[in-house]
Amino acid sequence: MENKNLTSNLNVDALFLGPKSENRVFFQEMMDYALREHMHWRADFHPEDAPLVTPVDQHMPDFRNTLYRTEGILRQLSSKLKTTSVPWFSPRYLGHMNADTLMVSNIAYVMTMLYNPNNCAHEASPTTTELEVEVGRDLCTMFGYHPNKSWGHITSGGTVANYEGVWVARNLKTVPLAMAQHPKARDLVAGFSERELLNMSPAAILDLTDELKKRGIFEEVRSLTARGVGVKKGQLGKFLVPMSKHYSWMKAMDVLGIGQENIVPLPVDEHYRTDVAKMREITFRLIEEGTPILGMVSVVGSTEEGSIDHVDEVIRLREECEERYGASFYIHVDAAYGGYVRAMFLDEENRFMEYDELVKRYRAEDIIPAGVAWPKREVYEGFKAMAEVDSITVDPHKVGYVQYAAGAVCMKDKRIVDLISYHAAYVFEECGDDAAEDKKVVLGASIMEGSKAGATAAAVWAAHRLVPLNIAGYGMVIARGIVTADWFHAKLASAEPFVVGHRKFDVRPVMHPDFHMVDFTFKEIGNDCLEDHNRLNKRMYEICSYASGRTYTNDFLTSSTSLASHEYGDTPAIFVRERGFAASEWERVQSVYILRSAVMTHFLRDAQRFEEYWSELRDIFTAKLAQIVEMEEKENEQLAAA
C-alpha cells in the first residue's frame, strides 16, 4: 500500500516570508517572475503592433516629471506604511487573529492583480471565476458537505458572508408563504396554517422548489417571497444568536430588513459557548408561544474568546423541535474565525477521523504533543456536526493565513442559491453534477457583491493547492498555534508575581482556550477594587498596542476587550470571583477589561524557543508594569500639587 503519511512533504517554515524576511531570496525571485511574465504577456500580445509610447516621448520633461511625482507618492506611502503598520508577522504580536500570511498567496495575488480580472462575471475573469468555484468546493469539502451538491464562494469577509446566510434564510422562510399566494402552487401547501408554513424545514422547502421548477412557476413564486414583497413587521419570527455574537449580526438584521429587535440573544456558559440548556429552554418557549424561528446561529470561534459552540446540540435540538412540534428553522454557523480549524480533523481522504485515531496520529507525528489536551471532546463534536448545518461563514483572511480581503460562505444545498439569484432558476439545475459547466457561472448574479477582485480567488486557490485542507496541510500550520497557545496559557496560569518596587502584580488566564485565543489579565496583589483592575489592564493594552503611538518600536503588542454584563450576562462574574474580587464588585462594575491574544504564530512551536520567549516576555511585562506604576505616581503627584 502506498504510504499515506504525507506530512513530511510540507515544511511550515517554508510557507512564509518570515519575521526577519528569512525567505527573501525566494520571495523576491517569485515576485520578479510574476512581474516579468506579465510584462512579456503584454508585449507578446500581437507582436506586430508597434509600441505606442516611444523613447522620444519618454524623454519629454513632463513625462519625466510625471514619473518623479509617481515615485514621490510611492515613497511617501511606503514611509507611512513603515511608520504605523502593525507587525503581524512577528511573534511579538499576539493580538487579533493576524499573523504572517502565506507567500504563495501574496505572490498569487500580485501576479493576478496585474491581469485585473473581475469575478463578477465569467467573461471578465475566465480564469479566476473557475478558481473561485474550485475554492468554494475546497471549503465545502472541508466542512463535510457533498462537493457537487453544495455551493461556496468568496466574499469580502465574514460580515458579508453572514449577510448572505441571513439573506438565503429569509428568502427560504418565505417560500411556503409565497406558494400559498400562487394559484398554481397553492395545492402543494393546501391545509397549512400560516404558522405551519413558517415552520417548515429548510430541506422540505427546497424539495418543494424542485416541484415549482417542474411546473415552470419557480420565478413567479420567487417574486412573491421576501425578495419581491418584503418582510412584514416581525412576521418571520426570531433569529437566535449567541450573546458572544460578532456585531455583523446586528448589521445583518438591519440591512436585510429583519430588524434588530428580532434577535434573541442566547446566554453563554462558563466556557463562553452557547449555554445548551438555556438555548433549549428559549427555543421551546418561543415555539410553544407560537413564535416562528427564522434561524439559529452557532459560533465556531467566538471573536473575543475563540470558543467553539456545541453545534451538535443545535442539530439535535432542531430534530427534536421537528419531532415534537413540527417546527423547524435554518441553522448557520459563523466560523469566520475558527472554520479552517476543521482541517485538523480530516485525513488525506477528507474523512473526519475518529477521536482516538486522531489523538493517536497527533502523538505519532508530534502534531500535538502529549501534555497538550487538544481537542476537548465537546470541541471535537462541535466541529464534526458542522457537516449538517445549512450554511457556514469562514474567513481565509483569518486562520487561512491569506491576506485581506478574503472571506467565504458555504451552503450545504446549492438549490438554495436560486432563491437569491438573478439568473433564471435552471442554471444550477441543468448543470447538475457537471463541474465544468458550473464553473462558467456569473457570480455577480448569484451572490451579494458585484465586481470583485479575481486576485483574491487566485490567492486562496494557491493557498489551498499548496496547503491542503486536512491534517497534513492546514492542520500542521494551525496545530503550531494551538500548541503554543496551550503553553502560553500554562505559563500565565502558574506565573510567579511580577515585582515593581514594593508592589506586586500577578497575571492569570480567563480560561483554557478551545483552540488558540488566550484571554488574560494582570492584577495588583492586594487590590480588591475591580475598577482599578480594569484600569491597570486598559493601560497595559494602551502601552502594548498601536495606541501607545509606538507600534514599530514596541516590544510586545496585543489586543483587548471588555466582557460586560449587557453582552455576557453574569458569565464574566465567574472569572472576577476567581480573580479574588468580592461578588459585590461585579454587581457594581458589571464589566471586566481583559487582554486578548490570538496565538497564530507558527514560530514558537519549539519547547526551548518558547521558554526563551516566555522569559523575555516576563521581562517585558515587568518593564511595562513599572512604566504604569511610574505614570500613576506622576498623576498622584500632580493631583497632590493641584
Ligand X SMILES: *Cc1c(COP(=O)(O)O)cnc(C)c1O
Catalytic amino acids? 426
Restricting to residues 451-490, name those near ligand X by CB under 6 A.
none
Task: Report, in Å, the least distance between residue 43 CB and ligand X.
Answer: 39
Task: Report, in Å, the least distance between residue 518 CB and ligand X.
Answer: 16
Q: Please identify, using beta-carbon distances, which residue of 266 and 471 lies nearer to ligand X.
A: 266
Location of C-alpha cell 493641584: 642
Question: Can residue 158 be called a binding residue for ligand X (CB under 6 A)?
Answer: yes
Stretch of 10-18, 297-305, 339-347, 596-604 contacting ligand X, by CB under 6 A? 297-305
Q: Please identify, using beta-carbon distances, which residue of 408 and 479 lies nearer to ligand X.
A: 408
Task: Give the C-alpha separation, 321 to 283, whole Å.
Answer: 9
Cβ contacts of 280-286, under 8 Å, gap ≥ 24: 280/317, 282/240, 283/240, 283/317, 283/321, 284/321, 286/237, 286/238
Task: Give the C-alpha separation, 531 to 584, whole Å.
Answer: 12
Grid coordinates representing 92 are 511579538
Dihedral of CA 271/358/491/302: which sign? negative
Burial classification of residue 526, based on how many CB atoms lie within 10 Å of its CB (0-12 exposed, 13-18 middle, 19 or more buried): exposed
Stretch of 35-43, 70-78, 329-337, 599-607 contacting ligand X, by CB under 6 A? 329-337
DSSP result, 551-581: STT-S-EEEEEEEEHHHHTTHHHHHHHHTT-
Question: Would you call 77 helix, strand, or coil by DSSP?
Answer: helix
Among 299, 346, 387, 443, binds ligand X (CB under 6 A): 299
Task: Report, in Å, the least distance between residue 389 CB and ligand X.
Answer: 15
Question: Can residue 336 be called a binding residue for ligand X (CB under 6 A)?
Answer: yes
Rounded alpha-carbon distances, angstroms, from residue 317 to 185, 264, 323, 324, 598: 31, 16, 10, 10, 31
Burial classification of residue 137, based on how many CB atoms lie within 10 Å of its CB (0-12 exposed, 13-18 middle, 19 or more buried): buried
Q: Please identify, using beta-carbon distances, which residue of 304 and 524 lies nearer to ligand X.
A: 304
DSSP result, 528-555: --HHHHHHHHHHHHHHTSGGGT-STT-S
Stretch of 3-11, 125-133, 154-162, 358-366 contacting ligand X, by CB under 6 A? 154-162
Q: Please identify, using beta-carbon distances, which residue of 137 and 332 lies nearer to ligand X.
A: 332
Stretch of 205-213, 298-306, 364-372, 494-502 contacting ligand X, by CB under 6 A? 298-306
Question: Can residue 100 be called a binding residue for ligand X (CB under 6 A)?
Answer: no
Among 98, 262, 303, 601, binds ligand X (CB under 6 A): 303
Burial classification of residue 529, based on how many CB atoms lie within 10 Å of its CB (0-12 exposed, 13-18 middle, 19 or more buried): middle
Helices (H), 327-468: 355-364, 377-384, 426-431, 435-438, 454-466
Stretch of 64-72, 136-144, 157-165, 166-174 contacting ligand X, by CB under 6 A? 157-165
Task: Give the C-alpha separation, 191 to 448, whole Å.
Answer: 35
Q: Contact letters (x/-) for ligand X, 231-250, by CB under 6 A? A: ---------------x-x--
Q: Please identify, using beta-carbon distances, which residue of 449 and 555 lies nearer to ligand X.
A: 449
Question: Can residue 159 be called a binding residue for ligand X (CB under 6 A)?
Answer: yes
Find out whether 435 and 149 touch, Cβ atoms under 8 Å. no
Among 157, 468, 481, 513, binds ligand X (CB under 6 A): 157
Q: By CB under 6 A, how many residues form the interface with ligand X?
A: 14
Among 309, 334, 413, 524, binds ligand X (CB under 6 A): 334
Find out whether 568 and 268 touch, Cβ atoms under 8 Å. yes
Stretch of 13-21, 151-159, 176-184, 557-565 contacting ligand X, by CB under 6 A? 151-159
Residue nearest to ligand X (CB): 158
**C-alpha radius of gyration, the chain, whole number:** 27
Task: Report, in Å, the least distance between residue 512 CB and ligand X.
Answer: 19
Q: Contact letters (x/-) for ligand X, 378-417, by CB under 6 A? A: -----------------x-----------x----------
Q: Contact letters (x/-) for ligand X, 205-224, by CB under 6 A? A: --------------------
Q: Please identify, using beta-carbon distances, which residue of 327 and 517 lies nearer to ligand X.
A: 517
Question: Can residue 318 be called a binding residue for ligand X (CB under 6 A)?
Answer: no
Task: Give the C-alpha separation, 296 to 179, whole Å.
Answer: 24
The end-to-end CA distance of the chain, in Å, is 83
Binding interface with ligand X (CB under 6 A): 157-159, 162, 246, 248, 299, 301, 303, 334, 336-337, 395, 407
